[in-house]
Amino acid sequence: MSEEELRGTFESEGLVEFEWDVLSLLPVVEGKEPITVNVFGSTWTIKELSSRELESLRGFSCDGFCDYDEEVVYIASDITIHRKGVVLAHELLHALFDFVGFEDDSKTEALVHRLEHGLFDLVNSFPVEYKRCRR
C-alpha cells in the first residue's frame, strides 16, 4: 500500500496524520521553534539547554527534567542524540505518571528508569504506518 493510500485509509477511519518518534521530537536544529507534544490533553514544550544551564535551574547536574507547572521538558543540548532520545522518553514518562497521579519519588524514579529504554526502543521500532496516525 502506498503512502497516499495509507493516508486515505487513515482519513476515512477518522484518523489524522502525524509523524512521531522520540528522536523526531528533539529540537536539535539551532533556531528551530520549540517542539510540543500532547500528554493526555496537555501541551508540553520540549526545550534544550546546556548542561550548565540545567544544573543552574535544578541545583544539581542532570540530563533533563520536567517542569510540571510550566509543562516543559528540558533536555541537555550537549549530550549525544541517542542519549537525548532516552532522556526525552524518561521525562515524558514522568509527565505521564504525574498526570495519572504517581508521586514523584524514588519508587517512581526507579520505575521510570526501568521503562525509559523500552519506551525509546518501542516507539522507534514502530512501522512507519503506525507513526503516521492516531485517533
Cα 88 from Cα 63, distance rounded (Å)? 9
| Residues contacting 134, CB < 8 A, separation 6+ | 15, 16, 18
Higher-pLDDT residue of 29 and 116 is 116
47 and 32 Cβ atoms separated by less than 8 Å? no
pLDDT score at 10? 43
Report helix angle 81-99 to 106-125, nearest 10: 120
pLDDT recorded at residue 128: 65
pLDDT of residue 73: 94
Residue whose entry in the numeric block shows the C-alpha cell 516543559? 72
pLDDT at 125: 79
CATH number 1.10.10 given to 20-125: yes
pLDDT digits over 104-134, tens only? 888 889 999 888 888 888 877 777 666 555 5
Tens-place pLDDT, residues 40-57: 888 999 999 999 999 999
What's the pLDDT tens digit per position in 41-99?
889 999 999 999 999 998 999 999 999 999 999 999 999 888 888 899 999 999 999 98
Per-residue pLDDT, averaged over 29-41, amounts to 72
28 — pLDDT class (breaks 50, 70, 90):
very low
- Closest-CA residue to 36 (of 88, 107, 84): 88
pLDDT per position as a tens digit, 3-21:
455 445 445 544 443 344 4
Whole-number pLDDT of residue 8:
52
Residue 1: burial class (beta carbons within 10 Å; 0-12, 13-18, 19+): exposed
Q: Which distant-in-sequence residues (6+ apart) come within 8 Å of 7 by Cβ?
A: 17, 132
